[in-house]
Amino acid sequence: MCGNNMSVPLLADAVTVSGAERETAAVIFLHGLGDTGHSWADALSSIRLPYVKYICPHAPRIPVTLNMKMVMPSWFDLMGLTPDAPEDEAGIKKAAENIKAIIEHEMKNGIPPNRIILGGFSQGGALSLYTALTCQHQLAGIVALSFCLPLHKAFPQAANNGVNKDIAILQCHGEMDPMIPVRFGALTAEKLKSVVTPTKVQFKTYPGVMHSSCPQEMMAVKEFIEKLLPRI
């Protein structure tokens, strides 16, 4: 491993699950509000591929408006959970730049962008999608779980560089999600079809699942990663 992690703040203490053999691909996965990278590093370890490196950074701790300004791990401030709620545009854009710095770091270490998948759960899923769609590099794909698209009114114009017009997107949502109702996920899937090639968007829902993941969803994630990041 070459390169200096300290030049990329989010990498300094990120949880990294290294490959068991030569790493030829990477998955960068962002946790949800109030969580840390540890829980998703554990979940991804259960579906890991030996040639893939999994990077699970921790969000900075900031006051969150939605939670009475309590300080907690959050990628950006949240004012509400509906598609028409006010949004922390500056915070979202700054967070996206920090994730793009991780992508650039992996590229410098020899993993090309078309061998990198960006993913996340809830707020992390929202950020992964915004970051990938506004990225200047052609990525392999996006895994977005239980979320809705941030700054959705800015698209498709925000993705006008078109670099990721054909990116594959796996979107998953629990049908009983009380925090981000599945209908918001469905609206996001329709919006995404106006931003990328419509046939590249997969939207899978899971009966009985709340604002969490499930084994069937993790298997779908594994199949998606295997398909887009085959062994080379």
Active site residues: 122, 177, 211
The number of beta carbons lying within 10 Å of the beta carbon of residue 159 is: 21
- Give the separation between CA 160 and CA 133, rounded to whole angstroms: 9
Contact by Cβ (8 Å): 115, 25:
yes
DSSP assignment of 159-210 equals GTT-TTTT-EEEEEEETT-SSS-HHHHHHHHHHHTTTS-GGGEEEEEETT--
The residue length of the chain stands at: 232
- Give the separation between CA 137 and CA 133, rounded to whole angstroms: 10
DSSP assignment of 56-94 equals EPPPPEEEEGGGTTEEEE-SS-BS-SSTTS-B-HHHHHH
- Give the separation between CA 33 and CA 127, rounded to whole angstroms: 11
- Give the separation between CA 7 and CA 201, rounded to whole angstroms: 34
Contact by Cβ (8 Å): 74, 62:
yes
